[in-house]
Amino acid sequence: MEKRMLKLYSKSGTVPLKVVKGHFATNHSHINYYIDITTLKTRFSEAESVAKELVHHYLSSAVVDTIVCLDGTEVIGTCLASELTHSGFMSLNSHRTIYVVTPEYNSNSQLLFRDNIQPMIEGKHVLILMASVTTGKTINKSIECVQYYGGTVEGLAAVYSNIQTAGGLPVHSVFTPADLPDYASYDVHECPYCKAGQRIEALVNSFGYSKL
């Protein structure tokens, strides 16, 4: 995988994105690029750069009380909360602060928040943060989850997004299909690589990849 890894940079040149071209399978689809966001999620300096790229979308257009982090984006979410606070951004919750939380998944892959976390969602203005958005299925489930617990989704953010909107809201991302114009996501039964007899190289998800 590493031998074919390419590195893209954000428009500002501060955020590096590693990608590998091939034939990969996610939970929902087959894709022709594995987008490696590992260091962006775990290395503080890179997570901080991602946050600085995303923050300008929310400084004047939305109120944020809570950031819901998916795909292991808690470090980015913490940096984003810090950027919003440092920029003089005021939230409407009584503590004048921003919560950073992560949902759990039950045995049916449904998202849930425990009783002690629910007050950070109910009645709050919520920003949903993901590592990458391909088909939009996960982000739509996240929107439904926040709404179920009484929160209002004010924004959607990601490091990379293959879609522009979800649930009637724009998805703001550091990288878009314009940065990776030949990126493609296919239904499992319509994948041209499978039809051509090309084997899947790895199973990929938010945790990384497993070679086959």
Per-residue pLDDT of 86-116, as tens digits, reads 766 655 444 578 999 999 988 777 899 999 9
* Residue-level pLDDT at 70: 95
Mean pLDDT score of the chain, rounded to an integer?
A: 90
Enumerate domains of the chain plus CATH numbers: 2-211 (3.40.50.2020)
For the cut 80, the answer to whether the pLDDT of residue 158 exceeds it is: yes
Lowest mean pLDDT among 116-120, 125-129, 185-189: 185-189
For residues 194 and 201, what is the distance between their CA atoms, to the nearest angstrom?
Answer: 11
For residues 165 and 44, what is the distance between their CA atoms, to the nearest angstrom?
Answer: 28
pLDDT confidence tier of residue 151, bands split at 50, 70 and 90: very high
State what percent of residues in the chain have pLDDT above 70: 94
For the cut 70, the answer to whether the pLDDT of residue 206 exceeds it is: yes
* Residue-level pLDDT at 148: 96
pLDDT confidence tier of residue 134, bands split at 50, 70 and 90: confident
* Residue-level pLDDT at 85: 82
CA distances from 28 to 76, 99, 164 (A): 25, 30, 18
* Residue-level pLDDT at 84: 87
Q: Where are the alpha helices (DSSP H) in 43-180?
A: 44-54, 74-86, 137-148
* Residue-level pLDDT at 95: 59
Beta strand pairing call for 66-69 and 125-133: parallel
